[in-house]
Amino acid sequence: MKIELTVTSDKGIALQEYLKENIGIPKSLLHELRMSKEVKVNDKIPVWTLPLQKGDILSIPFLKETITPSATQMEIDVLYEDEHLLIINKKAGIETHPSSEEDTASLSNGVAEYFVEQEILAKVRHIHRLDKNTSGTILFAKHALSGALLDREMTVRKIKRTYLALVEGLMDCSAGIVDKPIGKDRHHAARRRISSNGQKAVTHYKVWKRFPKEKLTLVELSLDTGRTHQIRVHMSSLGHPLYGDTLYGASVKQERHSLHAWKLTVPHPFKEDVITVEAPIPFDFGPRTLAALIGKL
């Protein structure tokens, strides 16, 4: 398979520089593409140092790769798919990627089996990750070129992620911004904490609904940054830890914390479309007494 792109610049940039600067292909992948001798300009093998002309047609192959990690049979919930990318609704209780070569129970292992079944000869590339006990939308690339361009979109924050969280207590403010740096907790390897020496972290929140009887609040959140445990740390810092998140001060323990990657918006790397998908709120998101109500919001 291949992708065809039309040169839009009239600056006479060489093929090597055009693919790097205009398309965003990293140096390592450029080398692989060049060595493959399958890249073509106007259906001919190009001289990589010669300038391109506006209107030239570039043909870039999807390089065949060994499927990794190891494949594991697993039921996966596909929310969106085309030949370039895959968006999955992750269940809580499963890691995004394996923690070791012996670990074969992660979502990435399940996607590897899906690739085998679909005869997609590519490494499994998750463009972002979710904590083990966070459910919802997660984005995978289906070939190296797509992975490189989606990584670039993630780096410059073009890919937008919106979360829902059920937090302890009744929040007073209907909306707000938490701008507090986050660093590692030297007393607890698995925790993060607010730290003046930490990395900048900004979280926007908006209250959806308060539940006075249960003393819980349903909140929508979006991130300007993507720090480890960012939402969990920031909400806890406000005195409203996620329901079930005892690592960050919740008073009630459940099998998962109540955080769900509800919406994902992705500018398509090869088309002018913007893909937006929503993952239904799962039944195990919060207390059983609220599950049906939350699911209808």
Give the active site residues: 131
> Helix, strand or coil for residue 154?
helix
CB-facing half-sphere around the CA of 293: CA atoms within 13 A = 13
Would you tell me the crossing angle of helices 144-155 and 27-36 to the nearest 10 degrees? Answer: 160
CA gyration radius, the chain: 22
CA distances from 18 to 45, 88, 252 (A): 16, 32, 55
Token pair belonging to 60: 């870039």
Closest CA to 133 of 257, 221, 226, 252: 257
How many residues in the chain?
Answer: 297
